[in-house]
Structure 1
Amino acid sequence: MKKVITFLFLVSFGFTQAQQAFKGKGDMRVNIGANLQDGGSGIQGSIDFGLGENFSFGFVTSYLLGVDNFNGIYHNNPTPYYDYKPEFKDRFDAKARINANLSSVIGVEQLDVYPGLSLGLRNFGGHVGGRYFFTDGFGVFTEIGFPIAKYSSNNDVFDHLNNQATFSLGASFSL
């Protein structure tokens, strides 16, 4: 029972002490968290710079730490793969992005919902995310990213790793 009361106190304190999630021009937000997807999991880091009341640009990188090795035949290639491991280029991705920050539109200052577009090393894509700030400098975020168009039709064994829907969650910081 003590754990439940402590948890409820912390949650209610976090909501009553919450701060503004996106302030606009000059705002800088950093997200660091886990990246979860089919075939692997890893880390994601992003930074967003406020350009206006509802607009920001930034950069996002991800690196897959745990990736399943491949065994079998791929795309009718007669040579089978045995315990084929992904290289650095298969695990890493970087993107530039723009966001529409909607905290002032939805009327909840502590919650920043941000849909956006990204242009990366492997694809053109989109994302939808949200940040909630408990204090002036610390909050949590979650984000779903998805490809819209791949750059190549190269059907490498690990090409799918950076061309699929991803789910990220973690901590958000205001700088």
Structure 2
Amino acid sequence: MKKVITLLCLVSFGFINAQEAFSGKGDIKVNVGANLQDGGSGIQGSVDFGLGENFSFGFVASYLLGVDNYSGFYHGSLTPYNDQKPEFIDRFDAKARINANLSSVIGVKQLDVYPGLSLGLHNFGAHVGGRYFFTDGFGVFTEVGFPVAKYGSNNDPFYHLNNQATFSLGASFNL
């Protein structure tokens, strides 16, 4: 029972002392967290630069640390794969992105909800995310991304790694 009361006090303190999540032009946010998806999990880092009251641009990079190896025939190919491991290019993705930061639109300054578009090494995609700041410099974020248009052909057993829906969560920092 003491643990529940302590947790409720900490959560209440975080909500009472919450700070503005997106202040507009000149604002810089950095996100670092876990990237979860089918067939692998890894890390993601992003930075967003405020250009206006409700607009930002930035960059995001992810690297899959844990990836399932592949064995078998891929898509009817005659080439057998035996415990095939993905290479660096299969694990890594980098994207430039733009966001519509909606904290002032929804009327909650502590919560920044941001839909956006991204152009990366493997696809053109979209994402929806949210950041909540407990203090002026620290908060949490979560983000869901998905491809809209994929590059290349589906002839590699690891093609799907950077061409699927992803879920990310972690810490957010205000610079």
Q: Which residue pairs with 1:111 in the alignment?
A: 111
Q: Give the TM-score taking structure 2 as reference length.
A: 0.99
Identity of aligned residues (%): 83
Q: Which residue pairs with 2:86 in the alignment?
A: 86
Q: Which residue pairs with 2:96 in the alignment?
A: 96
The farther-off stretch of 79-88 and 53-62 is 79-88
Answering whether residue 46 of structure 2 is matched by residue 72 of structure 1, we say no
Deviation, 1:79, is 2.3
What does 1:40-51 correspond to in 2, within 5 Å?
40-51=40-51
Q: Give the Cα–Cα distance (whole angstroms) in 2 for the partners of residues 153 and 91 of structure 1.
A: 17
Q: Give the Cα–Cα distance (whole angstroms) in 1 for the partners of residues 155 and 172 of structure 2.
A: 35
Q: Which residue pairs with 1:2 in the alignment?
A: 2
What does 1:1-175 correspond to in 2, within 5 Å?
1-175=1-175
The aligned length equals: 175
Question: What is the DSSP-based 3-state SS (H/G/I as helix, E as strand, rest coil) of the residue aligned with 1:116?
Answer: strand
Question: What is the DSSP-based 3-state SS (H/G/I as helix, E as strand, rest coil) of the residue aligned with 2:83?
Answer: strand
Deviation, 1:80, is 1.3
Q: Give the Cα–Cα distance (whole angstroms) in 2 for the partners of residues 17 and 79 of structure 1.
A: 59
Question: What is the DSSP-based 3-state SS (H/G/I as helix, E as strand, rest coil) of the residue aligned with 2:113?
Answer: strand
- Structure 1 residue ranges (4+ consecutive) displaced by more than 6 angstroms after TM superposition: none
Q: Give the Cα–Cα distance (whole angstroms) in 2 for the partners of residues 124 and 5 of structure 1.
A: 46
Gapped regions of structure 1 (runs ≥ 5): none
Q: Give the TM-score taking structure 1 as reference length.
A: 0.99
Question: What is the DSSP-based 3-state SS (H/G/I as helix, E as strand, rest coil) of the residue aligned with 2:76?
Answer: coil
Gapped regions of structure 2 (runs ≥ 5): none
The farther-off stretch of 18-27 and 68-77 is 68-77
The farther-off stretch of 123-132 and 154-163 is 154-163
Question: What is the DSSP-based 3-state SS (H/G/I as helix, E as strand, rest coil) of the residue aligned with 2:3?
Answer: helix
